[in-house]
Amino acid sequence: MRHLQLKARMAIVGSLLFVFYAVAATVAYAMFGGGPTVLALVLVGSVLFVGVQYKVGKWAALRSVGAEELTRGDYPHIHDRVEALSRDMGIEKPELKIARMGVPNAFAVGRKGAGTVVVSEELIAALEPDELEGVLAHELAHIANRDVVMMVLGQGIASIVAIVAQWAVLLTGDNDIADFFLAIVVGQLVQLLVMVFVLAISRYREYVADADARRAIGGGEPLASALEKISRGNERARDSAVDEQVNALCIFGQGSGLAKLFSTHPPVEKRIERLRA
């Protein structure tokens, strides 16, 4: 079975996310007095929230960077390479978009048959054709492996759990200003706890996508060289149009000094070392 370890990890994290979701639904049910009507509202409301989060997540990610259509007339070589790579990977050619992100980067959203790959103008300017091909193969691998879906759903469930935790603090407290700030802190901490599991998948999926890209283009050097240039470009850049949630989907995650446990990407040095091994 292809990528058995990734599928197993996604299954485990998916199960843990369901547990968090079930606990949040139970707490919400208790907070609003119980009963069949409340139960139905909690279940329908939470499912709709996750569904809307998934649908809106793609749109929000594209809108946050101002992504526009990457036309074949302007970039025929990119369309040709994506068509060939998509055919080799057994997926439909995704929609291609371009954005001015302030940094060289790229990300994929969506699923097989409804995917979108976004590349920054800065990335196209910084990379050689074979390096850009390596980056495109990496993003197509994310769509083929369906790991983007897990990331978006994980963020949606983390938001639900955080909202329920905040309301639990507010409804059980004295409803004063101290409870308000406590609810914010508790919500952030609970959301961070849930995201720890999602971020663990985020780091591993980068290694898998790197390996898939290496196989697709016949070697790891072009992507390794691209990661070096992307890393240097992000270090020099002062302004980035990539927000925190979209950053988790990008090929390169900008470091923020947080502990390794909370990073969205593995160290770029290790990725380059694996690609050149």
Of the residues 122, 131, 133, 139, only one is catalytic, namely 139
* Among the listed residues 64, 122, 77, 72, the one whose alpha carbon sits nearest the alpha carbon of residue 95: 72
d(CA 85, CA 101): 25
CA angle 121, 126, 131 (to 5 degrees): 105
Lookup result for tokens 């091994």: 277
The verdict on whether 139 is a catalytic residue reads yes
Query: For the residues of 106-123, what is the DSSP string, one character each?
Result: EEEES-TTS-EEEEEHHH
203 Cβ contact list (under 8 Å, min separation 6): 263, 264, 265, 266
Structure token digits, residue 271: 């990725």
186 Cβ contact list (under 8 Å, min separation 6): 165, 166, 169
Structure token digits, residue 148: 């983007």
d(CA 230, CA 227): 5
CA atoms within 13 A on the CB side of 88: 17
Where in the sequence numbering do the catalytic residues fall?
Answer: 139
